[in-house]
Amino acid sequence: MGRTVTALVVAGVAAASASRVSAQTSTLSKTGVALERVAQARAEKKISERYDPTFRKYTKRFFGPAFDWKYFKAQGFAESGLKADAQSWVGARGVMQLMPSTYHDIASHRPEFGTIDQPEWNIAAGIMHDHYLWQLWGNGVPESERHHFMFASYNAGEGTISRALAATKAKNAEPVWSSVELIAPTVQRWRYSETLGYVRRIDSTYAKLTAPPQ
């Protein structure tokens, strides 16, 4: 009987010790995961800020100092997650996901531009292409809506968005992006869900980039 009680006591002590070790291991594991997440967040922030000077520089050059460069950073996130080596299934490349033919056309007028895979020139060419689209939408849409049409054209092509706007006007709707969103399913030869999602991602990312620090 004495030996049985002793064995039970020893077993209880062992179980308690094992429980404490398990709890300590669990705590260490959770701490390790938390530290890993913090490190990952810092790394992601560092990557996300890497191209800020480039976005600032070429926004100022092609759009002037008053235009917010964070719009184009948000676009870079929507295009590639700011990954310089990103490549789409159709062959678009770089941070701004330019097609090689588009990049070649742009770079042919800018002898200082290097290759499409160099982040600085990829971003510069993307913003330069945005400027062309920005000018294209200088008439026909309100100034406050112009960036939506610019980004949509970057994604779907100016011809597609022109057809969408024409369909909107045919319905006597206001020439604003929300009207285009409503009419989008009726526009032929347009993967509209991709474009609408693209514009929304830019808007939401821009809102995060410009939100006051918590």
Residues 178, 158 contacting (CB under 8 angstroms): no
If asked whether residues 87 and 153 sit together in one domain, one would say: yes
If asked whether residues 33 and 132 sit together in one domain, one would say: no
> For 87-111, how does the pLDDT look when each residue is reduced to its tens digit (9 = 90+)?
999 999 999 999 999 999 999 999 9
**Taking residues 74-99, what's their average pLDDT?**
96
If asked whether residues 42 and 56 sit together in one domain, one would say: no
If asked whether residues 46 and 89 sit together in one domain, one would say: no
Residues 96, 151 contacting (CB under 8 angstroms): no
Could you tell me the two tokens for 177? 């992006």
Q: Structure pTM?
A: 0.79
Q: What is the extent of the structural domain holding 203?
A: 51-210
Give the model's pLDDT for residue 214.
Answer: 74
If asked whether residues 59 and 32 sit together in one domain, one would say: no
Determine whether 12 is exposed, middle or buried from the number of CB atoms within 10 Å of its CB (0-12, 13-18, 19+): exposed
- Residue owning tokens 């294209």: 136
Q: Which of 14, 31, 50 is the last residue of a domain?
A: 50
Q: Per the structure, how many domains does the chain have? A: 2
If asked whether residues 82 and 122 sit together in one domain, one would say: yes
Give, in degrees to the nearest 5, the angle at Cα 133 between 128 and 137: 145
Residues 116, 91 contacting (CB under 8 angstroms): no
> For 190-213, how does the pLDDT look when each residue is reduced to its tens digit (9 = 90+)?
999 999 999 999 999 999 999 998
If asked whether residues 100 and 176 sit together in one domain, one would say: yes
Where residue 5 falls among pLDDT bands split at 50, 70, 90? very low
